[in-house]
Amino acid sequence: MTRFENKTVIVTGGAGGIGDAICRRFAAEGGTVWIIDTNSAAGNSLASSIASQGQCAIFRHTDLTSPEAISALVDEITSDGQTIDVVCNNAGIMRRGCLMELSFEDWSLSFKVNVDALFHVCQAVIPRMQNQGGGAIVNTASQWGLHPAPGHIAYNTTKAAVVAFTQNLARDYAKDKIRVNAVAPGEVRTPMLETNLSRTGRSLADLNSLVPYGRIGEPDEIAALVAFLASDEAGYLCGSVVEITGAQAVA
């Protein structure tokens, strides 16, 4: 498929886990992908891997907690008159703990990365999309933003904010033909998840047994949904939050 041929795609948190799969999917479908992350080694490696397939990707180390850095990035991308057709706000962090176990620093950083970055990215990008006649934004929320899991109050609360942000943004800018949607994944087999398994002593089989479908999700499956939501095939989807969980209620 070439649904994103001649289109420019920004993917924040693009260097690992779900972000890696999202970048590869858009590049494989013809998009020029800007990989935005703070992990330079992983970002440059991904860009090189995509280029080796004859596809187009550019990595930029960007601090998403800095509005100035985000503004400079958007200015760079559009400096030659290039449009920004798709933005995937995928960057996120997870700080574990219930209220009395959590430091204010972890609480604050969770909001800076998981929520404030969306505000700054969208505020920089939306005027461009308005001027060009539209665009698509896909935000990565979480099943836990809809159905909170215990012991993750900062993560759950920020992902609930992503859901509300998505729905508000969609209602405000649908008139400009800017479609805003979100994906809400359940457990997905990423390096972060595998690290957590090592920490807790649980196994992949343990997690798979909790999912009615029989297994947890794969990054490629999330990327496929993100690409669909960003494509013209989803032309009437706006303000939707799509759970992708294998019918699991909550982890």
Is the pLDDT at 199 greater than 90? The verdict is: no
Is the pLDDT at 198 greater than 80? The verdict is: no
pTM > 0.75: yes or no: yes
Number of domains in the chain: 1
Is the pLDDT at 37 greater than 70? The verdict is: yes
Tokens of residue 54, six digits? 């004859």
Residue of 155, 173, 213, 236 marked catalytic: 155
Q: Identify which of 108, 89, 95, 116 has the alpha carbon closest to the alpha carbon of residue 192.
A: 95
Q: Has residue 174 been placed in a domain? A: yes
pLDDT tens-place string over residues 112-124: 999 999 999 999 9
Per-residue confidence at 5, pLDDT binned at 50, 70, 90?
A: very high
Cα–Cα distance, 251 to 28 (Å, whole number): 32
Active site residue 155: yes
- The CATH number that applies at residue 95 is 3.40.50.720
Q: Residue 148: what residue type?
A: P
Spell out the residues 6+ positions from residue 80 whose beta carbon is closer than 8 angstroms to its own. none
User: 83 is in which domain, residue-wise?
Assistant: 8-241
Q: Has residue 99 been placed in a domain? A: yes
pLDDT at position 202: 84
pLDDT at position 196: 77
Cα–Cα distance list, 40 to 16, 35, 53, 163 (Å): 11, 10, 20, 29
pLDDT tens-place string over residues 53-110: 999 999 999 999 999 999 999 999 999 999 999 999 999 999 999 999 999 999 999 9
Please compute the mean of the pLDDT values over residues 10-30 and round it to a whole number: 97
Q: Has residue 28 been placed in a domain? A: yes
Q: Has residue 248 been placed in a domain? A: no
